[in-house]
Chains A and B, each alone.
Chain A
Amino acid sequence: MKRKDAKLISRSLDGALSPEERIRVERLLETDSGAAATARVWQDIGDQLRIDAGRAPVPDPLLAWQEIRRKVRTTATQPDTPVMGSLFGIRLRWVAGLASVVFISLIGWSLFHDPRVAGEPVVSAPSPAAASERVEWVVAEIPGATTMIYTDRETDMTVIWMDLAQTDDPRDS
């Protein structure tokens, strides 16, 4: 059987033929026994398919829509996707680590480099009370001389005065 004849028979079973093509198919089935047998086989197969399709339940549109809504609600209640959650967590850990380093460094700097807190002698900005502690020791190298240490709070000046047993004390004038 020619291919074009098979196509013609297939289209006739589908009902998609023009009047001229229908006449041609009828003449073919009358003259060609093989084509007629093929047409009968194909028609039986098509009938069987229609019967089997009739046994399968047709889905209810309303039920199908409710199933879709149920699936949407179930998906919405699930937690965030792993990708977005891990990115946010990574950024927070970086910031926390860096902030802790800066914070600890600042605390340590203030403790170790503040001379007043560490107990070191005041160098840059001495208080009046601490100025009197600036003199560690004094030795008068001249025999018989005495020394006196005085700190003036107003001027923040520390005076080391050596008295050589002068008869006139200028501070008394």
Chain B
Amino acid sequence: MMTKTSTFLFFVGIFLLLFTPSPAHAEAVQLQAMMIQAQNEPAPMDRRLERVEYKLRRVFGFNYYSYVGEGSLMLNAGSEATMSLPRGHSLRIRLGGKGKAEVRWFRDGEALLSTSVGLSRNSPVVLGGVPSDGGTLILVLDQR
């Protein structure tokens, strides 16, 4: 009788292990995109860029960085949404499974860049290179 009980507990544990849903598929993901203008002409230092400016200086050769705007949205796996940004820009993001996202950058309805990236917290994806107002636009896409 004791052997049957131990066997029953064993299979219960296996059942729970196999059919417990993965947290990654159940939780919604918050994405934030910050639009920054990089240029070599002098510009005042923006405190809103304190968190990222040192990273940008390390990667890019621009002397000055200005905060333009930002946007955010919540997505579940398999869903798609559009994030509005300043100066007519927008990001259409489709969140796939396992942390992957398809990102499409638009300006005034015209597609500029499309990519499929893996998202993770504290590890942003930077899209850049689009000229604007005498500088170059950089989008820092981060998962919160």
Contacts and interface: CB of A to CB of B under 8 A. Distances in A.
Say whether A associates with B.
Answer: yes
Interface of A: 89-90, 93-94, 96-98, 100-102, 104-105, 108-109, 112-113, 115, 120-126, 131, 133-142, 145, 147, 150, 152, 154-164, 166, 169-173
Interface of B is mostly: mixed
18 contacts: A93-B2, A93-B6, A101-B12, A104-B13, A108-B14, A113-B22, A123-B24, A123-B98, A135-B125, A136-B115, A141-B112, A142-B112, A154-B58, A158-B123, A160-B113, A160-B128, A170-B62, A173-B62
Contacts of A105: 13-14, 16-17
A114 to B, nearest CB: 12
B113 A140 contact: yes
B78 interface: no
Nearest to A136: B116
Nearest to A166: B131
A51 B14 CA distance: 83
A101 B98 contact: no
Contacts, number: 152
B35 interface: no
Nearest to B9: A101
A102 B13 contact: yes
Contacts of A120: 98
Given A121-B98, A123-B120, A147-B113, A160 B9 contact: no
Nearest to B2: A93
B55 A157 contact: yes
Q: How large is the interface on B (under 10, 10 to 19, 20 to 34, 35 or more residues)?
A: 35 or more
Given A121-B100, A141-B114, A170-B61, 14 more contacts: A90-B2, A94-B5, A105-B13, A105-B17, A108-B17, A120-B98, A121-B98, A123-B120, A135-B116, A136-B100, A142-B112, A152-B55, A155-B58, A171-B60
B115 A94 contact: no
The list of the 8 closest CB pairs from A to B, nearest first, reads A97-B6, A162-B129, A123-B99, A141-B111, A101-B13, A136-B116, A134-B118, A171-B61
A150 B129 CA distance: 13
Contact of A173 (B63, B100, B110, B118): B63
A113 B126 CA distance: 28
